[in-house]
Structure 1
Amino acid sequence: MSPPTRAALYSETDRFRHQFNEHVTRRFDVAVDELTSQAQVYNLLSSTNSDVKKTPILLFVHTQTYNTSFFEELFSLKDTTDALKTPIIIWSDRLNRAEISALYRLGATSVIHQDAQTNSLAKTLSDMGEYWFRSVILPRPGFRG
């Protein structure tokens, strides 16, 4: 049996983290590293960790506000060799069109609008999990091609 897909989640709210775990982590074969600070996100992308099996192949960022310095730093780190291959999926319910465009210019793989209603969030998370963990062919842990 192959090891689970590794992903990392940085969320500004416990509610989103709980919903993500309920509708993604438990439903799909995913090992999720929960990051609790922006510093941990930076460390994840900037590390030259020799244990590539622990390097996540997807990074989910849930944010309630557009923080220019955080996103500029995040995507500048994505330009490093290993991090370049890490898709970054941004979730928010408060970004305007200009901020969404800026995220794509910086290098976001996807920007997903998060509806504040719990039932809608659960469905969106399930759909996202189906897409990323069942439809998309992701490299297995340890592959950095």
Structure 2
Amino acid sequence: MGKFIWLCQIRSLLLVQFFLSVVDCCLGLSISSLKPTPLCLPEDASALLQFKNTMSIDYSSDDSSCYSKTSSWNESTNCCSWKGVNCDKASGQVIGLDLSCSLLVGSLSPNTSPFRLQGLKRLNLASNDLNASSIPSGFSQLLS
């Protein structure tokens, strides 16, 4: 009889331990999902908005898979939450800009504002109408 009670106690302890590990796992997931979007650096937001204002959007494009990522960008929202913008989680610095297939029309000049994004590591402007722009010398300003 003593052996039976001992086995029941071990089973209960294992059940409690399992329950606690499930709760810990679930709480860990919910806490990590609550991490806020980093706050964008003001100079990065300004550079992105300036770039948006120098480009036009061709809504008459026949490519239904393309859409304007920049149309929702505005100064009243955090640029780290803008479509196509990727920020460093710690600093809020813009490190990635994916504006591929964004219906952009215009040209890139050496002083195009994305070249002022000091932390930029990835830039994708594919499938836009950049008026056969040559590769601007501004790329040499990008440090990363």
Say yes or no: TM over 0.5. Answer: no
TM-score (norm 1): 0.31
Structure with higher helix content: 1
Answer 1 or 2: higher relative contact order, Cα 8 Å, separation at least 6.
Answer: 1
Larger radius of gyration: 2
Scaled by the length of structure 2, the TM-score of the pair is 0.31
Name the one with the larger strand percent. Answer: 1
